[in-house]
Amino acid sequence: MTTVLSPHIHELFAKRAQQVLPPIYNAARQGHSSLISFTFGFADPALFPREDIAAASAAVLATDADAALNYGMDFVELRDQIIAKLHSQGVFAHEDNVLISYGSSQLLALLPRVFVEPGDVVVIEGPSFMGAVRSFADAGARLIMVPTDDFGMNLDALETVLDELHTQQIRPKFIYTIPTFHNPTGTTMPLVQRKRLLALSATYDTLIVEDDPYGDLRFAGEALPTLTSLDHDDRVIYISSFSKILAPGLRMGWAYAHPAIIERLGMFKVEGSSGPFLTRVVANYCADGRLAQHIQKLTTHYHNKCQLMLDAIGREFPTEVRVIRPDGGFYVWCELPQGVDVANLLMRAEQRGSTFLPGTRCFANGQGNDAFRLAFSFLPSEQIVEGIAHIGAALREM
Ligand SMILES: Cc1ncc(COP(=O)(O)O)c(C=O)c1O
């Protein structure tokens, strides 16, 4: 039985815990309702390499149980594999440039611990990944949102923002961006803009946090260098994850940055190393190029699902809905014609049996009532087709 917490105990909460807003959505509910849900960027369970992960776990326990099941230092082999992956992306990382974490979410929580005092400015895209934005906001950051267009963050708008801040003698702590297969819009920032973004961060003397969990999942267009690989000035903090390319339940991510930044992030990581057992399992799984092969398989699979969704949208949605076609990642972003409100659409779609992420959930300030995000990653093909038909019928009715 739940009872109301006594006000005397409530007073003991830190101010930030008294003020914190409840999560605006709860990913754990995905798959636990009867609705066909396009809401969350869950991986497709059909592609989890169950047997290989079981074999990797068994091998670790058979050969290295004493270290795997005890407290311990970061597992060097996994760090070396991450360094090799960074090298393949043109980033010449050394061991002191890399920190292993419990998912990239842990890094998104550590970053404000290292950089943000209450009231400090952090620049973000609007819309953006709310997990990150919440973490910065909870640390007391003053968030400034820069609009996006088909090429990611709109850099003219960014320049205006940075210029105004400069006039007020305010130096943002960092610019948080998802330049490749953006969450939620699916857009990718072209090379010219990437270079300009780096130049702007140098001119206004701030850092960039490049969040790149989807970069490996490209199924169309030319591969592009990461901001990190173009940076020669230690301005970029790169974070990525095994969540979308292997399995989110493993909770493994990594950061690459200047050693002094990595050291600070590590100092706030109170548990010390990340999972001696799981780091060994992931390293064992990834050995011998298996991860690269798995990524190829995932990419083909997600490409097919994305195409299936776009074809269904083409049949079912009125042409007035503007749809951004992604070159990779997990998401399709849809913009509604004037006068169509996303909350109303969501209600009608749910009455028909399907749900999605309304755009309002992707902005820090209540904008986004004219857009929504569809994740094609999680659902089986039949449900993608059925769910798009529900949303299409709701749209036509409106
Ligand atoms: C842009 C972005 N960053 C970070 C994350 C968190 O990933 P992880 O599972 O590694 O914590 C997600 C998850 O959806 C994401 O979309």
User: Which candidate, 283, 309, 94, 306, places its Cα nearest to that of 214?
Assistant: 306
Give the span between the Cα atoms of 326 and 328, in whole angstroms: 5
In the prediction, which pLDDT does 271 show? Answer: 85
Ligand 1 atom with the shortest distance to the CA of 244: 9
Q: 104 C-alpha vs ligand 1 centroid, how far in Å?
A: 6
Q: pLDDT tens digit string along 114-142?
A: 999 999 999 999 999 999 999 999 999 99
87/214 same-domain check: yes
Is there an atom of ligand 1 within 6 Å of 248 CB? yes
Q: Which CATH number covers residue 259?
A: 3.40.640.10
Say whether both 298 and 229 belong to one domain.
no
Total Cβ atoms within 10 A of residue 134: 17
Count, in order, helices (H) and strands (E) of the chain. Answer: 14, 14
Percentage of the chain modeled with pLDDT above 90:
86
Q: Average pLDDT for residues 26-40, to the nearest whole number?
A: 76
- pLDDT of 290 over the 80 cut: yes
The confidence band for 352, taking pLDDT boundaries of 50, 70 and 90, is very high
Establish whether residue 243 lines the binding site of ligand 1, counting it when its CB lies within 6 angstroms of any ligand atom. yes
Per the CB < 8 A criterion, the answer to whether 207 and 251 are in contact is no
Assign residue 387 the CATH number of its domain. Answer: 3.90.1150.10
Upper half-sphere CA count for residue 157 (Cβ side, 13 Å): 15
Question: Would you say residue 64 has pLDDT above 80?
Answer: yes
Task: Output the pLDDT for position 73.
Answer: 84
Cβ–ligand 1 contact at 179 (below 6 Å): no
Is 35 in the same domain as 162?
Answer: no
| Domain count of the fold of the chain | 2
pLDDT for the residue 245: 97
Q: Are strands 142-149 and 121-126 parallel, antiparallel or unpaired?
A: parallel
Please, which pLDDT band fits residue 18 given cuts at 50, 70 and 90? confident
355 lines ligand 1 (CB under 6 A): no
Ligand 1 binding pocket mutation candidate from 104, 180, 209, 245 (most atoms within 8 A of CB): 104
**Does ligand 1 have an atom closer than 6 angstroms to the CB of 291?**
no
Q: Residue 374 C-alpha to ligand 1 middle, in angstroms?
A: 16
Cα(251) to ligand 1 centroid in Å equals 10
Q: Please report whether residue 55 resides in a domain.
A: no
Distance CA 123, CA 126 (A): 10
Residue 362 included in any domain: yes
**Span 158-171, pLDDT tens digits:** 999 999 999 999 99
Whether residue 182 is found in the same domain as residue 321: no
Residue 1 has pLDDT above 60, yes or no: no
Ligand 1 atom with minimal separation from the 253 CA: 10
Average pLDDT over residues 274-299: 95
Cα 255 to averaged position of ligand 1 atoms, centre (Å): 13
Q: What does the pLDDT look like over 363-384, one tens digit per residue?
A: 988 899 999 999 999 999 999 9
pLDDT for position 377: 97
**CA of residue 212 to ligand 1 center, whole Å:** 8
The helix/strand/coil state of 73 is coil
**Nearest CA to 156 among 200, 198, 205?**
200
- Is residue 108 one of the residues assigned to a domain? yes
| Closest of 353, 347, 318 to residue 334, by C-alpha | 318
Residue 15 CA to its chain's centroid (Å):
28
Of residues 6 and 228, which shows the higher confidence score? 228
Within the chain, residue ranges assigned H as helices are 7-10, 15-19, 50-68, 76-88, 103-115, 130-138, 155-167, 191-203, 227-230, 259-267, 276-286, 290-316, 342-352, 381-397
Parent domain of 326? 7-49+292-397
**Residue at a domain's end among 253, 268, 289:** 289
Are 260 and 352 part of one and the same domain?
no
Atom of ligand 1 nearest to the CA of 104: 10
281 and 315 together in one domain: no
Atom of ligand 1 nearest to the CA of 41: 14
Q: Which atom of ligand 1 is nearest to the CA of 252?
A: 10
Whether residue 340 is found in the same domain as residue 272:
no
Instruction: Choose one of 252, 273, 289: the last residue of a domain.
Output: 289
Region 290-296 average pLDDT = 95
CA 203 – ligand 1 centroid, Å: 29
My answer on whether 167 and 303 are in the same domain is no
Distance 108 CA to ligand 1 centre (A): 9
SS3 74: coil
Ligand 1 close to Cβ of residue 41 (< 6 A): yes
Read off the pLDDT band of 23 (50, 70, 90).
low
pLDDT on residue 149: 96
**Is it the case that residue 26 has pLDDT exceeding 60?**
no
Asked if the model's pLDDT at residue 84 lies above 80, the reply is yes
Please check whether residues 99 and 32 belong to one and the same domain: no
Cα-to-centroid distance, 43 and ligand 1 (Å): 11
Does residue 281 carry a pLDDT above 90? yes
Give domain status of residue 56, yes or no. no
Residue 37 makes CB contacts below 8 A (sequence gap 6+) with 30, 31, 354, 355, 356, 378, 379
How many other CB atoms sit within 10 Å of the CB of residue 223? 11
For the cut 60, the answer to whether the pLDDT of residue 25 exceeds it is: no
Q: Is residue 237 located within the same domain as residue 356? A: no
Residue with tokens 């076609």: 325
What's the rounded Cα separation, in Å, for the pair 253 and 243?
8
Last residue in a domain, options 238, 263, 289: 289
Q: Which atom of ligand 1 is nearest to the CA of 108?
A: 4
234 and 271: one domain? yes
Which of 69-73, 84-88, 218-222, 246-250 is least confident? Answer: 69-73
Domain-located, residue 283: yes
Asked whether residue 281 falls in the same domain as residue 300, the answer is: no
Q: Which of 244, 330, 357, 361 to mutate to test the pocket of ligand 1 (most atoms within 8 A of CB)?
A: 244
Q: Angle, to 10 degrees, between the axis of helix 290-316 and the axis of helix 381-397?
A: 30
- pLDDT averaged over the chain? 94
Does the C-beta of 129 come closer than 6 Å to ligand 1?
Answer: yes
Q: Residue 27 has what pLDDT?
A: 58
State the pLDDT confidence band at 238, using cuts at 50, 70 and 90: very high
Q: What is the pLDDT of residue 17?
A: 80
Q: Judge contact between 122 and 146, C-beta under 8 A.
A: no
